[in-house]
Structure 1
Amino acid sequence: MTNLSIENSKKTALGSDLGNDANNRIESLLNSLSLAQKIGQLNLIPIEGKPTSEHHALIAEGKVGSVLKSNGAAQNRALQEIAVSNGQVPLLFQEDVIHGYKTITPVPLAEAASWDLDLIQSSAAVAAREAAASGLHLTYAPMVDVSRDPRWGRILEGAGEDPFLGSLIAERRVLGFQATNTLQTENVLATVKHFAGYGAALAGRDYNIQDISERELREIHLPPFKAAIDAGVSSIMLAYTAYDGTPLTCNEFLVQDVLKGELGFQGLVMTDWETIPNLIKIGVAEDLKQATLMAISNNVDMDMTSNAYTLHLKALLDEDKISLDIIDESVRRVLRLKYTVGLFDDPYLYFDEQRETNELLKTENKQTALALSRKSMVLLENKNGILPLDSSNSNLTKIAVIGPFAKTKADLNGWWFAEGNPEDTISVFEGLDTALAGKIKLSYAQGVSIDKFTQSGADLIPEAIKTAEEADIAVVVLGEEYWMSGEGGGTASLHLPGLQEQLLEAIAFTGTPVVTVIVSGRPYVLTDIAKNSNALLQAWMPGTMGGKAVADILLGEYNPAGRLPVTFPYHSGQVPIYYNYKRTSHTFDAGENDLRYSTTYRDVQSEPLYCFGFGLSYSKFEYSNLRLSSQSMTLDSSIIVSVDVKNVSERQGIETVQLYIRDEVASVSRPFKELKDFAQVLLLPEQQQTIEFVIASDKLGFIGKNLSTVVENGEFTVFVGSDSSTNESLQFRLS
């Protein structure tokens, strides 16, 4: 059973007081800096590829405090030597290490599908070790934006649609980056992003400003940030977007009142890429000087890539539009991070080339990546138990591996693959070929081509049909190319790009059983895909070990255990669709076709194709004897919800038991149900185990009329089951 608490975890509260000695050293250094050097500490510049003489000059003059996009122990040491030898403050090196550095793990949405908090933390720890060994101090992760719209490309970078699950994962990823590895030089500083509400992008288009209520902000978008802050995250990145009409860069309510006041964040606040000049584009600043004033007045400490601070802070100070104190306070926060990673004692602490060679892609790292790849994949269909494939079956002699993503490597790594090399990635074809060598013959056909979103490659379909006809089983690997999801990767259509659906239909028509594997960074509409598949596996973008993980699942070496962290729509028109919708005045029962006035669709079902929390296993589990320790509780007490779960199959497997709660009557409209706890349990064949959940008042609170958390007396319904569609429930009363 997964332990949802964080007992004995090392939390590094990087925004808190570092102690008298550290603070004295920081103050001494701060007082020794010239104004130009102070402003330089707030300047974050990109160095993509090899540094130029201009980069060297800026560093030597103290006009740069941090560098992003420069990778490798040797290169970063050389840049650090320039800074130190010229009497400047050592540089802080930063990078987008989102889901692995050299060993690429599944994209974060896929990691969330594992519902395995320990494994997610281990994945972040692997990324931290590799990044730190390559001369990096800070990563721009975790992204904790909650999203309910699969059209938004960056949904792949978060934990899905649920703020509770997202909060647990945010905490673990922060701990994984900052505090899991034994040595200081094996950890990196984490940056939680994008504060706040960025995941509510209008129409699924990235950077598109959406007006959301303060209630939605507090109920959905803020909880994962609070979890990251409570876990000691070092820095926070502000969103490109706006809240209540004011961009985050200059939004004093969210930064001053909420972030620093209510959430108690004391760490560093940075912009996203050129966010300060974006104030001009958005139309709230006349020029860069005004935008700079708005940002620094809002205590935005670090300017990423725009040079706004180096260009305008001195003039703003000379004109008495800002005080030196506000600059000093931002510099202090930069210096605290540099002290935390040891740069005051040894500027070259992270630049060990031998350690870099030993760490990257080492066996232990790949084993963690494989474990997470396997556990993140979600079995969506398995008609007549066609999976797992039995390689010892004499009737199974030839498998056709078909599809534009059967041999792809780069697309398995997804967006934000840091220094990952596609050549190090195991494709699906390679994974099957290695596993079946000498046992079963494999054939291959590309099927169609992927030319952006055009319908191309129809001439390849006949060959795929012939290949399928000559095989006993067809494994068809469909999906999207790595660039189609991720930042800027919004799509209007949620059907697989190109002619992939037509390809699958043609293969299914041959009568050869079809096992479909989906490689994607977002939920697609798989309604027709499911109809034409005997089995369907959502493999996501699974990273370096992805092909082996797929083979392990298809061949039964691993029993699938992934559960969806996001709803898969039945039809694109349902979007946004999610499980924890608010209760309404009319029914949501699509089965009542004679009821005209219902909150349903006339042309398609209202339910999703696959609900939040859904996932199949090769094992079968039965739930029974749902019970409560009491029918009532008080604010100061708790009750225990118990359920018996039995593996009624001949194969051991992992079940994710999920607890949902509904507040029956509240002062504001509440969701139909909300995830409040879960447990993963490994059960042997015919084994039964009692799963217990403790319900205390903290699981019953909500954002009340005054927009603060309240707990109200009344009736509550508790649901326990294998996914969010469960209706097995009991009631209790809080009084």
Structure 2
Amino acid sequence: MRRTYEDQVEALLGRMTTAEKFGQLQQLTWTGDTGPGGGQTALTEAAARAGLLGSVLNIHGAEHTNALQRMAVEESRLGIPLLFGLDVIHGFWTTFPIPLAQAASFDPAVAESDAEVSARETRTNGVHWTFSPMMDVTHEPRWGRIAESSGEDPYLNAVLAVARVRGYQGPADGSGLASKDRVAACAKHFVAYGGAEGGRDYNTVDVSEQRLRNLYLPPFKAALDAGVATVMAAFNTVSGVPAHANAHTMNRILKEEWGFDGFVVSDYTGVEELIAHGFAEDGPDAARLALNAGLDMEMVSTRLADHGEELLAAGRVEMSRLDDAVARILRLKFALGLFDRPYADESAAVTGPTDEAREAARTAGARSMVLLRNEDAVLPLSPAASRIAVVGPLADSADLHGTWAGPGGTRFPSVTVLDAVREAAAGTVVAPAGPGVAEAVAAVESAEVAVVVVGEEPALSGEAAVRSAIGLPDGQEELIAAVAATGRPFAVVLLNGRPLTIGGWLESAPGVLEAWHPGIEAGHAVADVLFGTVAPGGKLPVSFPRDVGQIPVYYNRESTGRPYRPAVPDEKYVSKYLDLEDGPLFPFGFGLGYTTFATDGPRLDREEVTVAELERGAAVEVSVDVENTGARTGDEVVQLYVHDVAASIAQPVRRLRGFARVTLEPGARTTVTFRLGAEDLGFWTNDPAGTFTVEPGRIDVYAGTSSAASAYRTLTVR
């Protein structure tokens, strides 16, 4: 962020009392109810008038934010404006597909479009700050919050985090933050929340320094380089130390090593929870630990505001640390233009999804879908089919927004799959006469082809929505089996917020389309792909396990001393299960289309490069030719992976280091070019001080259309 406002910040700091400074470190939540059951609303309004409040959570609507802002600006001693924050995760009024779905697009333009639309709708409704992007790399599909992430790969997470930050904020220098259509972004959760044991929210993470830096931290560094204004601490411990009081991650890495000059906000009551963690003895201790470790703003709990002055007087926190935290918060308020224009223009507020925003969400939804199976070319459906049956528990659901859908998720229903198929089809579309399997079978038997819409309701994923078993909910597999028994061709549409264990029904379903939770235009996006108006081109951003007992299963694993070898299936003393086939059901990067592609092996512009050249900024250029060999226009995602064959720290068998989604007409051919530099060929060691190294040796460079790509060339680093 540009430090254009340092003189104003310093001048304001010089006028503030200690109580007012600690007040800037406080964020409270607002419900609008000032009665006994109104939570923190009355406290919020009193603190705003007294100049003892920095930020407000969960408020939106220009008339509401303006009323509260006037209390702070016109009634407090110094008139410091409030910063209003809201969880706008994948849409405000216009819900886009969940972030995990957007990651399946392998298209950063999808994520940027979501962020741009969200920022415009959010800012005009008086909100300045969104708690997004969430970039927790995770190998844990049971974890409900995988729906908010971009999956299991740090590179993909990083690319999409940059796109979202750019969409929310504009230029990396922060010059766009004051615009009426931009909001401040928040990189969360810092750090390693995706590694929570058992996939249980708020749980322990025990992680080595090298895995912390190679797996969990890269998306955050990318977001910082893109100018992200704020960072949110994670609920979990990191190697025994809660993230809210972790000086190694917040002070040493984030602020000192990376030079982050924005501010760190706690998660909801995260400072208070240091006591429950068994890390802090009491409230004053929790405040001391968090502030000294680098936390700058406390969300909802009030330990810093309650105990800050006594801690300062006792010498348990320093004035310089307090001033640093306050300066970081004030800096963002100046950058957002709040001192010049504290109030939202109520006449300019966006009051609902526009046609343009809906079209962007529909495009994003279709580009995010992954075709998992298509036997006998059951898809795309013919619009001329005389009768199409649409069955399943989610076929007529208008709640397909997904988790954390924002205010639009409750005000504006999703387009249903049934309605959209009726709109797209030229023939008759039949729905079951009742909710039972028998009625569904009767509808299918009366049709030429069927669409079976199953999956998870949005409430089954997201925060505090962990599942120990991640198959289809009760009765849905039985429905698929009954439809299969009719002999009619059919396709299954999966609507879900996480990878599922598809189980035994896969082989009975000719077509399977992974549609995720697609947002407000869900039905239209699904119909676009079902009928081939949009060619499916998405790829899986996370591996689909065969069975829950296999978790964690992920592509970027390290090899063992006794790896399983598919060519020698009878080997006993190797890393495998006795009762389960090796590897995931569907690997990271997998996805089919309605056409076929031929992808050549990678070509390197040089076969050798020295460490010294790489350290000076040299790069190896990798070219991959791809051709549409089918009869339809389609999309393919060319993916580039590297493997350091022998290193001082065992390396993943594959690491994604580039991808490109291309659209080709039948017979068309193109060349995709990637560049591999030091950051792609090196890795972080276990040194807590942070040591990145590029070592001499052999690097195998793979190219293909999934993480299972086998074509490679060898690069020698000398």
- Listed as ranges, the matches of 1:77-476 within 5 Å are 77-87=66-76, 88-179=79-170, 184-348=179-343, 351-357=344-350, 360-392=352-384, 396-421=385-410, 423-436=412-425, 439-445=426-432, 460-476=436-452
* Deviation at residue 716 of structure 1 after TM alignment: 1.5
Paired AA for residue 383 in structure 1: E
Q: Which residue of 2 aligns with 1:37?
A: 20
Matched, 1:673 2:673: no
Q: Contact 1:404–1:446 (CA<8 Å) still a contact in 2?
A: no
Structural mapping, 1:503-522, within 5 Å: 503-522=479-498
CA distance in 2, matches of 1:478, 1:553: 16
Check the 8 A contact 2:602/2:702 in 1, yes or no. no
- 1:284: how far off? 1.4
Q: Of the candidates 675, 685, 688, which is equivalent to residue 704 of structure 1? A: 685
Within the alignment, does 1:483 sit opposite 2:459 as a pair?
A: yes
Cα offset, 1:362, TM superposition:
1.3
CA distance, structure 2, for counterparts of residue 219 and residue 599 of structure 1: 24
8 Å contact 1:667–1:705 — kept in the other structure? Answer: no
Closer, same or farther: CA 265–228 of 1 in aligned 2, 3 Å: same
Report the secondary structure of 1:103's partner residue.
Answer: coil
Amino acid across the alignment from 1:161: E
Cα displacement (A) at 1:544: 0.7
Matched-pair contact (CA < 8 Å) for 2:112–2:167: yes
Contact 1:378 1:538 in 2 (8 A): yes
Taking the aligned partners of 1:155 and 1:525, their CA distance within structure 2 comes to 15
Question: Contact 1:44/1:68 (CA < 8 Å) preserved in 2?
Answer: yes
TM-score normalised by the chain length of structure 1 = 0.92
Specify the alignment match of 1:46 in structure 2.
29
| CA distance, structure 2, for counterparts of residue 254 and residue 556 of structure 1 | 47
What is the CA distance between 1:112 and its match in structure 2? Answer: 0.6
- The aligned residue for residue 732 of structure 1 is 715
Amino acid at match of 2:696: N
Q: Is the 8 A contact 2:417 2:523 kept in 1?
A: yes
1:714 aligns with 2:697: yes
Aligned-partner Cα distance in 2 for 1:328–1:644: 56
Farther-moved stretch of structure 1 (139-148 vs 619-628) = 619-628
Q: CA deviation at 1:633?
A: 2.3
Q: Write the distance in 2 (CA, Å) between the matches of 1:501 and 1:136.
A: 43
CA contact (8 A) 2:702 2:710 kept: yes
SS in 2 for 1:516: strand
Quick one: distance in 1 between partners of 2:603 and 2:280?
Answer: 59
CA drift at 1:210: 2.3
Asked if the contact 2:144–2:460 (Cα under 8 Å) also holds between the matched residues in 1, the reply is yes
Between the two proteins, what is the percent identity of the paired residues? 38
Letter in 1 for 2:259: G
Which of 33-42 and 238-247 deviates more? 33-42
Per the TM alignment, residue 42 of structure 1 is displaced from its structure 2 partner at its CA by 1.1
Report how far residue 625 of structure 1 moved.
Answer: 5.8
> 1:412 & 1:137 partners in 2: Cα distance?
23
How far residue 422 of structure 1 moved from its aligned partner, in angstroms, is 5.5
Q: Are the aligned partners of 2:371 and 2:592 in contact in 1 as well (CA < 8 Å)?
A: yes
Letter in 2 for 1:426: V
Q: Deviations over 1:592-637 (max 9, x none)?
A: 2321112122111112111100111111101236433332222324
CA distance in 2, matches of 1:628, 1:284: 52
Q: CA contact under 8 A between 2:124 and 2:348: conserved in structure 1?
A: yes
Using the TM superposition, give the Cα deviation of residue 58 of structure 1 relative to its aligned residue in structure 2, in angstroms. 2.5
Shift of 1:53: 4.7
SS at match of 2:135: coil
Q: Please give the residue correspondences for 1:531-610 in structure 2 after superposition, counting only pairs within 5 Å.
A: 531-610=507-586
Distance 1:446 1:631, change over 3 A: farther
Tell me the distance in 2 between the aligned counterparts of 1:151 and 1:557.
33
Q: Secondary structure at the match of 2:431?
A: strand
Contact residue 277 and residue 291 of structure 1 kept, 8 A: yes
Q: Does the aligned pair in 1 maintain the 2:639–2:705 contact within 8 Å?
A: yes
The 4+ residue runs of structure 1 with deviation greater than 6 A are 180-183
Q: Is the 8 A contact 2:537 2:593 kept in 1?
A: yes
- Change over 3 Å in CA distance of 1:59–1:646 after alignment to 2: same
Structure-2 separation of matches of 1:583 and 1:501: 35
Name the CA shift for 1:579/1:234 in 2 (closer, same or farther; >3 Å): same
- Tell me which of 618, 632, 636 is aligned to 1:655: 636
Contact 2:395–2:416 (Cα < 8 Å) also in 1: yes
How far off its partner does 1:563 sit?
A: 0.7
Q: Which residue of 2 is the match for residue 457 of structure 1? A: none
RMSD in angstroms over aligned alpha carbons? 1.8
Question: Using the alignment, how far apart are the partners of 2:714 and 2:11 within structure 1?
Answer: 61
Residue number in structure 1 paired with 2:666:
685
Structure 2, unaligned runs of 5 or more? 35-40
State the 1:45 CA deviation: 0.4
Secondary structure of residue in 1 paired with 2:311: helix
Counterpart residue identity of residue 129, structure 2: L
Q: Whole-Å Cα distance in 1 between the matches of residues 311 and 686 of structure 2?
A: 42
Q: Is residue 589–residue 600 contact of structure 1 (8 Å, CA) maintained in 2?
A: no
1:178 and 1:190 in contact (8 A); partners too: yes
Change (3 A) 1:274 1:486: same
Contact kept in structure 2, 1:409 and 1:422, CA below 8 Å:
no
Determine if contact 1:411/1:480 at 8 Å carries over to the other structure: no
Does the Cα contact within 8 Å between 1:238 and 1:271 map onto a contact in 2?
Answer: yes
Query: How far has the Cα of 1:732 moved from its partner?
Result: 2.4
Q: Secondary structure at the match of 1:173?
A: helix
1:424 is displaced (CA, Å) by 3.7
Moved more, 410-419 or 712-721: 410-419
Are 2:622 and 1:641 aligned?
yes
Q: Match for 2:7 among 6, 24, 42?
A: 24
From the superposition, tell whether residues 589 and 347 of structure 1 become closer, same or farther in structure 2 (CA, over 3 Å): same
Query: How much does 1:680 deviate?
Result: 1.6
Shift of 1:201: 0.8
Q: Is the 8 A contact 2:437 2:479 kept in 1?
A: yes
CA positional deviation for 1:705:
5.5
Structure 1: runs of 5+ lacking an equivalent? 1-13, 449-459
Give the counterpart letter for 1:415 in structure 2: W
Deviates more, 1:705-714 or 1:277-286: 705-714
Alpha-carbon distance change, 374 to 31 in structure 1, aligned in 2, over 3 angstroms: same
- Find 1:67's aligned residue among 47, 56, 59: 56
Q: Does 1:620 align with 2:612?
A: no
Shift of 1:325: 2.6
Indicate the residue corresponding to 1:3 in structure 2: none
SS at match of 2:600: strand
Q: CA deviation at 1:231?
A: 0.8
Q: Give TM-score, length-normalised by structure 2.
A: 0.94
Higher deviation after alignment, 46-55 or 239-248: 46-55
CA distance in 1, matches of 2:159, 2:264: 22
Counterpart CA distance in 1 for 2:567 and 2:143 is 30
Residue 692 of structure 1, CA deviation: 2.4
